[in-house]
Amino acid sequence: MTGPLSSPAVPGVSAAVIVLLVPTPWSPPGVDPSSWRAALAEDVVDLIAPLPLVQPAIAALPDDLPLASKIAWPSMPQYELPTLSIRAALSAAAADGHERAVVLMADAPDLPAMLIGKMIRPLSTRTVAVAPAAGGGLLGLACRLPVPSWLPDLDPETADVATARRPAPEPTMVASAPGWHRLRTPDDLRHLDLALDGWDATRSLLS
């Protein structure tokens, strides 16, 4: 389902890249949880917004649309979802006319942009590409649209490549893409490299 703030697919775009506003179960000591969640999501949005040949977007539940509007770039589509799920976000992109889409979790602020391309690339021959998250769960998922009926509504916190492959008519229809870390626990902070450029909003809360 698309919300009133969505916009149709843009000709020439290779894929929609959607930031899914997932909850954040933890924040650093002394950091307001809502500010932490907003900073993580803002950095992911700022990563995808200038990428060429993709249509960046944000997907959220109705209560999180104010956050989506706050961090969205001008003219960036915002999808209002009936349920906070990867499948719902993919379906919103399909309704907008996209033939391929990537759904990224909103808590990977230092994600290298090249990994998004590595999720899209397998779709030339595969139906789905799954990128795992360090520590379990998913970083994101890329899919040809419309969403195949056999693809389960994967839980971002527990699913993996095998979960997506199991119901596929052929296991080779689901590719494994390179993974990355998300910031869900105190231990995840050790993966961050302060020498890397980008993720300014998250960095400002940690400095």
- List phi, psi (to 5°) of 91: -65, -35
Q: What is the full per-residue pLDDT of the chain (207 aa) written as tens digits?
A: 444 333 445 455 689 999 999 999 999 999 999 999 999 999 999 999 999 999 999 999 999 999 999 999 999 999 999 999 999 999 999 999 999 999 999 999 999 999 999 999 999 999 999 999 999 999 999 999 999 999 999 999 999 999 999 999 999 999 999 999 999 999 999 999 777 788 999 999 998
| pTM higher than 0.85 | yes
